Chain A
């Protein structure tokens, strides 16, 4: 990928983000923040790339592995915690009736 097309990707991604989040009820701000936060752990892909490309370079493998750990901590924890919060909302109607 050329740098210019990566810049396009960046621009379009940002616009998509702005557009998607436009209208959210305040109720969902905390779950949304936590969900978006989990997605930012996508750096796990960069960490994976680092490990695969390390070619036996042990310090690099360790850095990659630690980085992967941090990213997955963010991703797994983030999605679980968001689910826990949202479970409380969706449980409501069924409980009432």
Chain B
């Protein structure tokens, strides 16, 4: 073994260790930030290791340097700009976009190796002659393409650029997707037979498959899909590792792939959806309109901001249930103002965070943290549910499905069995909402019909700032 090989070996080993420690550290609030930096450091270390290895062995031509620098600068710059500019509310879409690009990168590497066999120059590796290589190239392209188009569709749907086309809810979509799967299998077999040009068929068909699989999935299930696609991009990276014969890529890709799967599982549990029904069941709202259909409210009580303020002033304990609507209205800071006033009046304020509040597990925590809400006031669902009977006022802000009692009471409801916050147990519930539109699942919310629920109609931010005014008039938080 010569020196460059040893150096690369040591650096790779360190990089794997740091990456593993990074992922581990990301699972604790205290260490998460340092862990993220450690992982970033490990990534740069791995680049240095690879470049120094080539410098010490084959050397890197000026031409190669130029293309390396061009690619790096453009990619890093765009990534950094987007990461700095994007609002916190669009986090899920952003992760989807980044993820898709990772998949695209794996696809391009495999495609490059497949189309321009550079066999004799890549250490004793005989491209396109060994079966293993053809398989790993095919897997890398297949998974990479699905990751890319799937993530882009997911992003477009979350951004509201794409809606769910009607035909994708019919059984036709299964047929179409099966055709894509069969076609990619044919392309794969053809590739192994030595027909290099069928690689293009594989690229096209697997890209279409990514679209075909993601398009029918409703917005509510999108986080699960993104998490799954995140896992795929890890698999694509591992496959690319087989293509270029890099253990580091395989380890890191496998870690991300496994981690993504676990995370997907956790999200499914939180939404009471099985992965199978997310992937093949189509949009939840489409099922509902087909099965139950009736969505008429009979007993809606609406009230003014003033009444709401009066009730709040008399309360001892208030629980806030924030949902995505709050984030969309950018009202988390205004909400913080309201709760500050209540706290100054000696009222106990707690935030009840449903596992899938916002659009991803943990998304709401990020948004509230942005508004300076103390970490201790955020309570997980299981911790806060026993508190509702002893609570005077619950403020539901832009949340809907996660407070629907149907999930507990109505076994015919598509929501049945989903863990929900038992807000109806509280003495008074105020639901701040723009109108009577249904939640993400498109299902009628029985909570709104209950006698202890009052609706305060209006934009969350507007209602909250009015509430501040009313509380001020009542002298709350003035001492």
The answer to whether B227 has its CB under 8 Å from any CB of chain A is yes
Say yes or no: B26 contacts A63, CB within 8 Å. no
The answer to whether B390 has its CB under 8 Å from any CB of chain A is no
Within 8 A of A (CB), among B206-245: 226-227, 230, 233-234, 236-238, 240-245
Say yes or no: A72 contacts B72, CB within 8 Å. yes
A83 to B37, CA, bound (A): 8
Q: Is the interface of B mostly helix, strand, loop or mixed?
A: helix
Say yes or no: A81 contacts B98, CB within 8 Å. yes
Cross-chain contact of A52 among B60, B91, B226 (Cβ < 8 A): B60
**CB-based closest 10 A-B pairs:** A17-B258, A13-B254, A77-B79, A72-B75, A80-B83, A69-B75, A68-B71, A67-B108, A29-B361, A65-B71
Shortest beta-carbon distance, A80 to chain B, in Å?
3
Say yes or no: A29 contacts B362, CB within 8 Å. yes
- Name the segment of B260-268, B317-325, B410-418 touching the other chain: B260-268
Name the A residues within 8 Å of B64 (CB-CB).
Answer: 51-52, 54, 61
Shortest beta-carbon distance, B353 to chain A, in Å?
8
Question: Which residue of chain A has its CB nearest to the CB of B359?
Answer: A30
Cross-chain contact of B26 among A32, A56, A68 (Cβ < 8 A): A32
In the complex, per-residue mask of A55-79: 1 if CB is within 8 Å of any chain B CB, else 0: 1110111111111111111111111
A90 with B99, Cβ < 8 A, contacts A1-B247, A18-B262 known? no
Say yes or no: A42 contacts B237, CB within 8 Å. yes
Say yes or no: B255 contacts A74, CB within 8 Å. no
Shortest beta-carbon distance, A11 to chain B, in Å?
8
Name the A residues within 8 Å of B252 (CB-CB).
Answer: 13, 39-40, 42
The answer to whether B58 has its CB under 8 Å from any CB of chain A is yes
Say yes or no: A85 contacts B71, CB within 8 Å. no
Say yes or no: A21 contacts B27, CB within 8 Å. yes
Given A20-B24, A71-B105, A93-B375; 14 other pairs, CB 8 A cutoff: A13-B251, A16-B251, A24-B26, A36-B256, A40-B252, A46-B243, A50-B244, A61-B67, A69-B70, A71-B101, A75-B79, A84-B84, A89-B32, A89-B366
Shortest beta-carbon distance, B192 to chain A, in Å?
16
Say yes or no: A63 contacts B118, CB within 8 Å. no
Q: Is the interface of A mostly helix, strand, loop or mixed?
A: helix
Say yes or no: B227 contacts A33, CB within 8 Å. yes
Say yes or no: A14 contacts B36, CB within 8 Å. no
Within 8 A of A (CB), among B370-416: 370, 372, 374-375, 378, 380
Could you give 7 example pairs across A and B, Cβ below 8 Å?
Answer: A13-B250, A21-B259, A30-B92, A38-B40, A62-B67, A68-B67, A71-B102
Residue total for A at the interface (Cβ-Cβ under 8 A): 88
Q: Which of A28, A32, A45, A69 gathers the greatest number of chain B CB atoms within 10 Å?
A: A45
The answer to whether B248 has its CB under 8 Å from any CB of chain A is yes
The answer to whether B39 has its CB under 8 Å from any CB of chain A is yes
Q: Which of A20, A36, A89 gathers the greatest number of chain B CB atoms within 10 Å?
A: A36
Say yes or no: A40 contacts B256, CB within 8 Å. yes
A41 with B102, Cβ < 8 A, contacts A16-B255, A46-B240, A92-B369 known? yes
Name the B residues within 8 Å of A69 (CB-CB).
Answer: 70-72, 74-75, 78
Say yes or no: B91 contacts A85, CB within 8 Å. yes
Say yes or no: B106 contacts A46, CB within 8 Å. yes
Say yes or no: A20 contacts B98, CB within 8 Å. no
Name the B residues within 8 Å of A92 (CB-CB).
Answer: 369, 372, 374-375
Shortest beta-carbon distance, B137 to chain A, in Å?
11
A48 with B50, Cβ < 8 A, contacts A24-B27, A70-B101, A88-B370 known? yes
The answer to whether B363 has its CB under 8 Å from any CB of chain A is yes
In the complex, per-residue mask of B112-143: 1 if CB is within 8 Å of any chain A CB, else 0: 11011010011000000000100000000000
The answer to whether B51 has its CB under 8 Å from any CB of chain A is yes
A66 with B102, Cβ < 8 A, contacts A43-B236, A52-B64 known? no
In the complex, per-residue mask of B352-366: 1 if CB is within 8 Å of any chain A CB, else 0: 010100001111011
